[in-house]
Amino acid sequence: MTAAEAATLGVSDVFTRLGSGPEGLGKDEAARRLRVVGPNAVRSYRARPWPVLWSQLRSPLLLLLAVTAVASAFLGQASDAVIIGVILVASVGLGFFNEYKAARTAEALHSSIRHRCVVLRDGHPRTVDVTELVPGDVVDLQLGQVVPADLRLLAVAGLECDESVLTGESVPTEKSTGPVAAGTPLAELTCCALMGTVVRAGSGTGVVTAAGGAAEFGRIAQGLGEHQPETEFQTGLGKFSMLLVQVAGALTGAIFIINVALHKPVITALLFSLSIAVGLTPQLLPAVVSASLASGSRQLARSKVLVKRLVCIEDLGDVDVLFTDKTGTLTEGSLRFMRSAGPDGTADDEPLLLGLLCNEAVTENGRAAGGNPLDVALWDSPAAAGQQPALARYRRLGTVPFDHERRLVSVLDEDDAGNRMMITKGAPEELLKRCTAIPAAARTALDAEFASGNRVIAVATREMPSVSSLTAADEHDLTFRGILVFLDPPKPEAREALQRLARLGVTVKVLTGDNAVVAAKVCADLGLPVSQVATGADIDNAGDQLGELLARTTVFARVSPEHKAQIVRAQRATGTDVAFLGDGVNDAIALHAADVGISVDSAADVAKDAADVLLLEKDLNVLADGVMGGRRIFANTMKYVLMGTSSNFGNMFSAAGASIFLKFLPMLPSQILLNNLLYDTSQLAIPTDNVDPEQVAQPTRWDLGFIRKFMLFMGPISSLFDFTTFGIMLWVFHAGERLFQTGWFVESLATQTLVIFVIRTRRVPFFRSVASSPMALAAVGITAVGAVLPYTGHLAYILGFQPLPGAFFLALAGIVAVYLVLVEIGKYWFYRLYRAPAAPKPRHRTPGHRVRRRAARFTVHTLHPARGHNVSPGKPVKQDSKVPAG
Ligand SMILES: Nc1ncnc2c1ncn2[C@@H]1O[C@H](COP(=O)(O)OP(=O)(O)OP(=O)(O)O)[C@@H](O)[C@H]1O
Ligand SMILES: [Mg+2]
């Protein structure tokens, strides 16, 4: 049943249609339905070899080349065709092997992550994977949660959903339970909560009407295909590849025409120009990127950072501004109850007793088993044990639970003499506003506690003789009873981590539900420069000036969950890349709003669920490692790109040019392909390379202009030089066809691969930066392979090589040395002249990006039967023809 249909019906009709009830489904029935309709998923994360292989073969260039090779075989050049075939298979195999390995890593990543929700099974709440939801399941919704399926709402308490992912409307929609008129547009289905949207306020319960591809969100997500969302970097690489393909296209077209005009055989000319095109285009680029992301994710996992999707790594490296909560990130987070003080500020156990009574921790035998950290800390204190006899005298009649907007919790208790009172505890600012009289001594005591950075909550009571239930509206005319003080000292290692992040160019700002003075004190203790502290009230009053307020503020205190998200969104609107680190229920919405949501393993479920990255330790140092990791990958991939645009490009260009002046081809098509294969192989070690600290000192930005300029600057150096080499070959060695081709093959491979040592660093001279051993070995090794090939007898003969005179290698050494020096000088001038654009362009995220990101939670290993059926009890399942099979 679609959401639109269900919305027009009353709750009982919906239950009848779905064959369910307020108690939810039975365990067996849920399992049966799951078998019939398949999982609540829109994608599969299984690494399948065929699609990966297909993506390697899809290149029109390769196809064209293969066809031409086959044609040439029929024209009598069988051995050439076979060689070309073998090299092509090896190239495709290389790309496939790397991509598939990366896909396997992504698969392992996905299978280690669970997204869960609470459903009623036979009337009992159960936690299940969101992918196991079926139509008829009754689901709980809470703040910050992503709605796991299309739901017809059964009950709401101030429920509001952010449906922008579906409707583009950023103002959250208020939800209710009454049916709507038929034909109501999607954005106004107030009695439905739609899959993929986020609970921005309140809570609720609903019954699943449609899941997976049958839900509105699922339909959109499936329409976008199986692709992962792309990072800015990947999009940039795509554009870059297009640029090269265009250059290659123009160049090869011209070469072909010229060669034919010069009366070279058509098929040879075609093979030659196509091979040049293959040499020009960076076929291995996607494989290099995925391989570096995959190896990056494994490295990060070792340093305790778990990314949910591979692309998150790059997002991490891009972070400009990090918002973090205070508790547990900057402070130890292991709250310790220190003292209880009466209204006059002197020690007094009464507030402690009241605090234990007005408490939501789940207790077992007088010990806390779970709940709000402050409440748990209170129970765990040694002093709490002494209160047991006093506690036994009270009976609880009602509760108004804690929420992050009120920052208060209240209970209605009756003592053994039958006296009823309300006990309220909460943030002192909020509580004091509701008290009748506050002794001056209390204010002094409070200020002193705040100033020393302690966490304080205040306790008050109110006599309520004839009342039997409570609401938040009763929280007034309270009698102030005292304060409870908790110690939450700053983390020593946070100081160093903050400095590291500052050195990495990441601005750290604090968003906390705690008091402004406390937050400022903690920051000061940790050496985080605090320019200004703003509070939630300041944010509300800022209006249009929020951007300005944001720019001058480091600490935001007493902010609500909605404020946190509002700040994150406002910061993103300035074009910066924003990360948010938080672990509480009050952080979930902001986690969704950020470019990168970061949480910790010990966080509340909704926070973990909302995050893109999980830290296995709540430590900013671990995060700094993650940022570094992202930037390293960017830096190394950039090396590959720059290599492709300089020497490789230049060599191919020169070879093409030379074919005009020479009576023969400067290199045989098969030799060009072999050359390219060997070069690519050496490039595969780039992801392991070391990165200079200065290269990762700033947030990474993709800059196509930079690459284009680099290409235009370095390309000619390389070509100029190549023609000199041609001259030497022709006039010094008096080379004939075979010798020329062999010499040029060895020389071009050597210069192409060895130039990595210059390109990989901005330092001059280049040997001030040390390459990783695998990479150095690969570059030198491949050069050696190239040099040895002409001496392999029969093999050399088949490949069209001939042994080179000893003097050649002397010349080669000289050529390589001069070339590297030339490039070094070029590089020096390039980086001196090059100016990066001053302001980074604002990030442009397409709506599809968000859908894909959110769809990641609705993935299963294998997507079996088509999703999108209507399950009706007893009736056979009907196939919905609109939904494509998974
Ligand atoms: N169980 C509780 N009982 C009463 N008051 C509480 C309780 N938990 C928190 N508070 C009060 O509400 C305030 C806000 O809490 P909230 O959880 O929104 O943020 P926080 O966890 O203190 O800060 P951060 O955002 O840095 O994690 C706390 O500073 C405290 O004064
Ligand atoms: Mg918190």
Task: Verify that 355 and 237 share a domain, yes or no.
Answer: no
Percent of the chain with pLDDT over 90: 31
Query: Domain range spanning residue 757?
Result: 230-304+630-834
681 with 770, same domain: the answer is: yes
Q: What are phi and psi of 314, to 5 degrees?
A: -70, -35
Give the residue whose CA is nearest to atom 15 of ligand 1.
Answer: 513
Residue 775 is predicted with a pLDDT of 92
Question: Which of 430, 464, 487 represents a domain boundary (last residue)?
Answer: 487
Q: Is residue 166 part of a domain?
A: yes
CATH of the domain at 720: 1.20.1110.10
| Weakest-pLDDT range from 515-519, 698-702, 813-817 | 698-702
Sheet holding 321-324, edge to edge: 305-307, 613-615, 596-600, 578-581, 321-324, 507-511, 555-557, 533-535
324 lines ligand 1 (CB under 6 A): no
423 falls in which pLDDT band (50, 70, 90)? very high
Residue nearest to atom 8 of ligand 1 (CA): 374
Atom of ligand 1 nearest to the CA of 585: 17
Nearest atom in ligand 1 to the alpha carbon of residue 326 is 26
Among residues 258, 286, 249, 268, the alpha carbon closest in space to that of 103 is found at 286
pLDDT classification of 833: cutoffs 50, 70, 90:
confident
In a domain, 294, yes or no: yes
Expressed in angstroms and rounded, the spacing between residue 376 Cα and the centre of ligand 2 is 14
Q: Given pLDDT bands bounded at 50, 70 and 90, which one contains residue 873?
A: very low
Residue nearest to atom 27 of ligand 1 (CA): 327
Lowest mean pLDDT among 132-146, 254-268, 269-283, 363-377: 363-377
- Residue closest via CA to ligand 1's atom 19 equals 513
Q: Which ligand is nearest to the CA of 327?
A: 1
Number of structural domains (the chain) is 4
Q: Are 634 and 732 members of one domain?
A: yes
Cα(516) to ligand 1 centroid in Å equals: 13
Residue 584 near ligand 1, beta carbon < 6 Å = yes
Confirm or reject: Cβ of 474 under 6 Å from ligand 1: no
pLDDT for residue 74 is more than 60: yes
Mark whether 284 and 320 lie in a shared domain.
Answer: no
Atom of ligand 1 nearest to the CA of 559: 18
Structure confidence by residue, pLDDT tens digits, 663-702: 888 888 889 889 988 998 898 888 889 999 888 888 777 7
In which band, very low, low, confident or very high, does the pLDDT at 54 lie, cut at 50, 70 and 90?
confident
For the stretch 293-324, what's the b/e string if a residue is b when 16 or more beta carbons lie within 10 angstroms of its beta carbon? Answer: bbbbbeebbebbbbbbbbbbbbbbbbbbbbbb
Residue 676 is encoded by which pair of tokens?
A: 């390219």
Which one of the listed residues 150, 325, 538, 583 is annotated catalytic? Answer: 325
* CA of 582 relative to ligand 2 center, distance in Å: 7
Burial category of 28 from C-beta neighbours within 10 Å (exposed 0-12, middle 13-18, buried 19 and up): exposed
Does residue 852 lie within any of the structural domains? no
Percentage of the chain beyond pLDDT 70 is 94
pTM exceeds 0.80 for this model: yes
Q: Indicate whether 257 belongs to any domain.
A: yes
**Cα 802 to ligand 1 centre (Å):** 79
CA-proximal residue: ligand 1, atom 6 (nearest): 426
Pick the ligand that lies closest to the CA of residue 360: 1
Distance 176 CA to ligand 2 centre (A): 29
329 alpha carbon, closest ligand: 1
Residue 559 has pLDDT above 80, yes or no: yes
- 104 is a domain residue: no
729 lies in the same domain as 760: yes
Most confident of 528-542, 694-708, 841-855: 528-542
Whether 400 and 426 map to the same domain: the answer is: yes
pLDDT of residue 837: 64
pLDDT at 13: 92
Q: Kindly report, residue by residue over 449-487, the tens digit of the pLDDT.
A: 998 888 899 999 999 988 888 888 999 999 999 999 998
- Which residue among 329, 407, 456 is best mutated to probe the pocket of ligand 1, counting the most ligand atoms within 8 A of its Cβ? 407
DSSP state, residue 448: H
pLDDT value for 846: 64
Indicate the pairing of strand 362-364 with strand 367-370: antiparallel
Residue 872 binned pLDDT confidence (cut-offs 50, 70, 90):
very low
Three-state SS for 53-101 is: HHHHHCCHHHHHHHHHHHHHHHCCCHHHHHHHHHHHHHHHHHHHHHHHH
pLDDT tier at 259, thresholds 50, 70, 90: confident
Contacts for 238 with CB less than 8 Å, ≥ 6 apart? 230
CB 825 within 8 A of CB 170: no
Q: pLDDT at position 841, please?
A: 60
Q: Is the pLDDT of residue 282 over 80?
A: no
Q: What is the mean pLDDT of the chain?
A: 85
Indicate if ligand 1 lies below 6 Å from the C-beta of 327: yes
Does the beta carbon of 514 lie inside 6 Å of ligand 1? yes
pLDDT of residue 467: 86
Last residue of a domain, one of 187, 222, 257: 222
| Same domain membership, residue 447 and residue 371 | yes
Per residue in 391-410, pLDDT (tens digit) is 889 999 988 988 888 899 99
426 CB less than 6 Å from ligand 1?
Answer: yes
Phi, psi dihedrals of residue 135, rounded to the nearest 5° = -55, 135
- Nearest of 827, 700, 847 to residue 769 by alpha carbon: 827
pLDDT of amino acid 875 = 39
Task: Check whether residue 340 and residue 322 sit in a common domain.
Answer: no
DSSP string of 705-728?
HHHHHHHHHHHHHHHHHHHHHHHI
Query: Are 402 and 475 members of one domain?
Result: yes
pLDDT of residue 47: 81
Tell whether the model's pLDDT for residue 268 goes beyond 70: yes
Is 318 a catalytic site residue? no
Confidence of residue 874 (pLDDT cuts 50, 70, 90): very low
Confidence class for position 350, pLDDT limits 50, 70, 90: very high
Packing angle of the helix pair 78-111, 49-57 (nearest 10 deg): 140
pLDDT score for 867: 44
CB 98 within 8 A of CB 291: yes
Buried b (16+ CB within 10 A) or exposed e, 667-699: bbbbbbbbbbbbbbbbbbbbbbbbbeeebbeeb
Nearest to 216 by CA among 200, 198, 196: 196
Is residue 883 in a domain? Answer: no
Cβ of 326 closer than 6 Å to ligand 1, yes or no, is: yes
The domain that contains 600 carries what CATH number? 3.40.50.1000
Decide if 673 is inside a domain.
yes
pLDDT attached to residue 256: 87
Tokens 């293959």 belong to: 278
**Does 483 share its domain with 346?**
yes
Overall average pLDDT of the 192-215 stretch: 91
Domain end call among 834, 858, 878:
834
Residue 638 has, within 13 A of its CA and on its CB side, a CA count of 26
Distance (Å) of CA 340 to CA 169, 345, 366: 48, 9, 19
Which strand (E) or helix (H) includes residue 289? helix 285-302
Q: How far is the CA of 351 from the centre of ligand 1 (A)?
A: 18
The enclosing domain of 184 has a CATH number of 2.70.150.10
Residue 2 pLDDT more than 70? yes
Contact 205, 256 (CB under 8 A): no
Q: Which atom of ligand 1 lies at the shortest distance from residue 407's CA?
A: 12
With beta carbons less than 8 A apart as the criterion, state whether 124 and 137 touch.
Answer: no
Residue whose tokens read 């077209």: 253
> 477 and 367 in one domain?
yes
427 CA: nearest ligand 1 atom = 31
CA of 515 to the centre of ligand 2 (A): 12
Confirm whether 806 is domain-assigned.
yes
**Residue 705, C-beta contacts closer than 8 angstroms, at least 6 positions apart:** 837
Supply the pLDDT for residue 886.
29
* Closest atom of ligand 1 to CA, residue 329: 26
pLDDT category of residue 715 using cuts at 50, 70 and 90: confident
Question: Among all ligands shown, which has an atom nearest to the Cα of 522?
Answer: 1
Say yes or no: 473 and 504 in one domain: no
- Closest residue to atom 24 of ligand 1, CA basis: 512
Residue with CA closest to ligand 1 atom 25: 512
Question: What is the Å distance from ligand 1's center to 471 Cα?
Answer: 20
| 589-608 residue pLDDT tens | 899 889 899 998 888 888 88
User: Which residue has its alpha carbon closest to ligand 1 atom 11?
Assistant: 427
Q: In CATH, what number is assigned to the domain containing residue 375?
A: 3.40.1110.10
